Amino acid sequence: MNLEADENRFSQIAELLVSSRHAVVFTGAGVSTESGIPDFRSPGGIWDRFDQSAFDYSSFLTSSQSRLAHWELFRTLSHRVEPNPAHFGVAELCRLGLVKAVITQNIDNLHQRAGVPDELIMELHGSMKNFTCLRCHAKYPLDKIEVIMQSAEVPECPHCRGILKPDVVFFGESLPGDTLERAVFNSRASDLFIVIGSTLAVYPAAYMPEYALASGASLVIINLTPTPMDSQASAVIHARAGEVIPEIVREVKRRSG
């Protein structure tokens, strides 16, 4: 990161935040890569290691081979990881009342663990925090599932031996309607929309900044690589989220002195 060149943009973004009425943060995989969570689409990411065609909801339900593949992936994703400075920075901006909603494509629960209240978060693709039995609808926290995983390749519901599924959105499944509705509402209500760590490639999630722009919001993009919406943003920073967000928080605090 070229700190000097970015200095002006930190201050510009801080100014936008302080003068905003309804700032919304939108995050993708890039906010969590510094926590050690592998990205799905980057080279060396999840889809380089797993055959994406084996993953969809109907084959998960009907094929034990597909369930085995899914559980290998869940194992990879359930490794213990911690929030990084980007997550803590976003949580701090929420605590200061400057960010009113956090929309995320991530399923890692790291925003909540960094201190963002549940009611401010919209997890568009669900979360690995809980698993549900598709037969008896019992819910199990990830901790409990991790214990079962130690002795079973494909864990089953301890009650009824039904299929267990994490509360995440699978390929071929639609996004949770109420969460999507809240995300659209907040995007349209925003006057400042800050994208962090998303290449804006996955729809319908990537519609959110478009809704925000259409409603007259300013767009800020913080991502390691360029995105298709960079040209429409008021400020763009191509750097790691964990380096940028703490700088912006510092600028914001300097202003509110």
- Which residues of this protein are in contact with Zn ion, per CB under 5 A? 133, 135-136, 138, 157, 159-160, 162
Q: Quick one: 133 or 219, whose CB is closer to Zn ion?
A: 133
Q: At what angle do helices 241-256 and 3-18 cross, to 10 degrees?
A: 50
Query: Is the torsion defined by CA of 84, 248, 214, 229 positive or negative?
Result: negative
Of 196, 179, 23, which is closest to residue 97 (Cα–Cα)? 23
Map residue 38 onto helix, strand or coil.
coil
- Regarding beta strands 218-222 and 235-237, do their DSSP bridges make them parallel or antiparallel, or are they unpaired? parallel
CB of 163 to Zn ion, least distance (A): 8
CB of 147 to Zn ion, least distance (A): 16
- Which residue among 70, 125, 137, 159 is the active-site one? 125
Q: Quick one: 138 or 148, whose CB is closer to Zn ion?
A: 138
125 belongs to the catalytic site: yes
CB of 156 to Zn ion, least distance (A): 8
CB half-sphere exposure, 184, CA atoms < 13 A: 10
Query: Torsion angle of alpha carbons 240, 241, 242, 246, nearest 10°?
Result: 120
CB of 68 to Zn ion, least distance (A): 19
d(CA 51, CA 54): 6
Paired tokens of 167: 């509360």
Q: Which amino acids are annotated catalytic?
A: 125
